[in-house]
Amino acid sequence: MTYQWIDILSEGLGGALIKCSSCSTQTKIYNLKKAQVFICPKCQKIFSKEHEAYGKITSQKINSTEIILPLLSKCIFDETSYTVVGLANKHEKGHRAEKWQEYVLIDTLGNYAFLTGSFGHWIFLKECIKPETFTDKAVSYEFENIDGLTYKVYSSYYQITESAIGEFPYDVIATKKRFSREYVCAPNIFTYEHFNNEKTYFQGHYVTPSELKKAFSDNDLTLPSREGVGSCHRFYLKINQNQFLKFSLWFFALTLISFFLIFSSRSANPLSTNKIELVDSIKTQQVVSNSFTLYETSLLQINTHSSIDNDWIEADVTLVNEKTGEEKTFVSGLEYYHGYEDGESWSEGGTEKTDYLNNIKPGKYHTEMRVFGSDKTTYRDIQIQILQDYPSSWNYGLLIGVLAVITAIVVYFGNLFEKSRFGSLNDE
């Protein structure tokens, strides 16, 4: 039968003022229509719409746990203003150490929400409709929610209420048969509850201590330190390791594609070629190249080739900016020796090499070259070609390597984090 609320002093759109029949304390019930149980904050007398037989929860129990968020505190979550109207201390059936505080919140329209705190970890929850992708007919260890994220089962349990005060939209006393199963995709959580023939679904998200203090900005909160990893505690720096891994793989793929497109379709642009000959009577020679123009900051490639044989040749090359007079000088030398010793052939050096000049600004340039040769009387020549090159693929490799290392670190510590989150599941 329906149990009448005792001594309703006044009733309006904003709720009802009642008077406790046990201690005469006057208290406001914010949603008289939806509230199922009210427990006097002073004497813990229980008023229930359905059960006259409920006794009162002793004050020793409620006072044994610190109330972190006082009743009637104001807060804001998801741009909605709420008032704290109820508090329950709970633990899992058969696992008293798995405990939490559940705060009942209500907005100005009479809609309820819930805030749970366990070992310094906080979760904000609101009732939602059953997702089309979720089935409660069998144990589903993961499912893809309507938000497109995959949720994995975290815990299954029956709950026990140790103590409670305030207003509740459900029977907070008879909870031993209230089955709960939680699914997480940090920082989000989905909860399914089954009580008698009623099934309820909740969607929520993790709340950091700083976010909680901001939500309760009118209160000077002293929050407990966080212990371990919460059920939907987000990974360090709010990184979602799965999304980060997907991003890295896409980045690798796009980088490789762009690398092949760029370097397979673009070749170095020749700017000047100079061939200098040294003969018996000429041991040193100077040459000035033709002018060339760079229209963008460039990488210059200098290819040097010579027909020396058991000899050396060297060129001092100066790149001159014809407008500013700025000079960049480098030495390009070649030596090549070979022969036989103890019946085996040997060689050292080579007849060609490549040098680079980086970060050459736009402008009109020419090169001044001075070539030196040895005192040998054989014919020698040297060819110096300057090309406008494109950035080396080494930069791409370095970028990919750095990201690969970062990805490996994130995945490694992310796996350790998830192992700390998912312990042994209790599926009763």
| 328 and 402 together in one domain | no
| 338 and 256 together in one domain | no
Identity of the residue numbered 115: L
| 209 and 302 together in one domain | no
pLDDT for the residue numbered 89:
92
| 198 and 257 together in one domain | no
Q: Give residue-wise pLDDT tens across range 346-393.
A: 999 999 998 888 888 999 999 998 988 877 656 678 898 988 876 555
Confidence of residue 278 (pLDDT cuts 50, 70, 90): confident
- What is the C-alpha end-to-end distance of the chain, expressed in Å? 32
In a domain, 123, yes or no: yes
Written as six digits, the tokens of 201 are 């679904």
Alpha carbon distance 173, 159 (integer Å): 10
Beta bridge pairs of residue 1 = none
Written as six digits, the tokens of 83 are 């008032």
Q: Give residue-wise pLDDT tens across range 27-47.
A: 899 998 899 899 988 888 888
In a domain, 47, yes or no: yes
Q: Which of 187, 218, 234 is the last residue of a domain?
A: 234
Q: What angle do CA 246, 251, 257 make, to 5 degrees?
A: 130
In a domain, 426, yes or no: no
Identity of the residue numbered 56: K
DSSP single-letter state for residue 245: H
Give the residue-averaged pLDDT of 182-191.
90
Element (H, E) at 397: helix 393-421
Residues, the chain: 428
pLDDT for the residue numbered 129:
92
Q: Give residue-wise pLDDT tens across range 119-161.
A: 889 999 999 999 888 887 767 778 888 778 888 888 899 999 9
Q: Give residue-wise pLDDT tens across range 288-309.
A: 989 999 988 888 888 999 988 8
Alpha carbon distance 280, 217 (integer Å): 92
Cβ proximity of 116 and 104 under 8 Å: no
Alpha-carbon distances, residue 320 vs 97, 171, 354 (angstroms) = 78, 88, 19
Written as six digits, the tokens of 402 are 């750095």
| 214 and 345 together in one domain | no
Q: Which of 184, 218, 234 is the last residue of a domain?
A: 234
| 352 and 212 together in one domain | no
Q: Is the dihedral of CA 194, 197, 203, 204 positive or negative?
A: negative
Written as six digits, the tokens of 115 are 């805030």
| 187 and 281 together in one domain | no
**Closest by alpha carbon to 403, among 217, 174, 248, 261?**
248
| 258 and 326 together in one domain | no
| 306 and 330 together in one domain | yes
Which contacts qualify for 264-272: CB closer than 8 Å, 24 or more apart? 266/390, 268/301, 268/387, 268/388, 268/389, 268/390, 269/387, 269/388, 270/385, 270/386, 270/387, 271/300, 271/386, 271/387, 271/388, 272/366, 272/367, 272/385, 272/386
For 1, half-sphere exposure in the C-beta direction (CA atoms, 13 angstrom radius) is: 5
In a domain, 3, yes or no: no
Q: Which domain holds residue 13?
A: 8-234
Looking up tokens 């949720």, which residue turns up?
151
Element (H, E) at 15: strand 15-19
Alpha-carbon distances, residue 40 vs 18, 23, 51, 88 (angstroms) = 10, 9, 16, 13
**Closest by alpha carbon to 288, among 243, 255, 319, 330?**
319
In a domain, 428, yes or no: no
E-state strands within 219-374? 269-278, 284-288, 292-294, 298-306, 311-321, 327-341, 344-350, 352-360, 363-373
Q: Give residue-wise pLDDT tens across range 228-277.
A: 777 787 776 565 666 666 776 777 777 767 666 655 555 678 888 888 88
Decide: residue 189, CB within 10 A, 0-12 exposed, 13-18 middle, 19+ buried.
buried
| 200 and 329 together in one domain | no
| 146 and 213 together in one domain | yes
For the chain, the domain total comes to 3
Alpha-carbon distances, residue 135 vs 6, 145, 186, 199, 303 (angstroms) = 41, 11, 21, 12, 69
Cβ proximity of 142 and 150 under 8 Å: yes
Q: Give residue-wise pLDDT tens across range 1-22.
A: 344 455 676 777 778 888 888 8
In a domain, 101, yes or no: yes
Alpha carbon distance 175, 198 (integer Å): 13
| 163 and 272 together in one domain | no
In a domain, 358, yes or no: yes
In a domain, 1, yes or no: no
3-state helix, strand, coil in the chain (%, to 5): 15, 45, 35
pLDDT for the residue numbered 425:
38
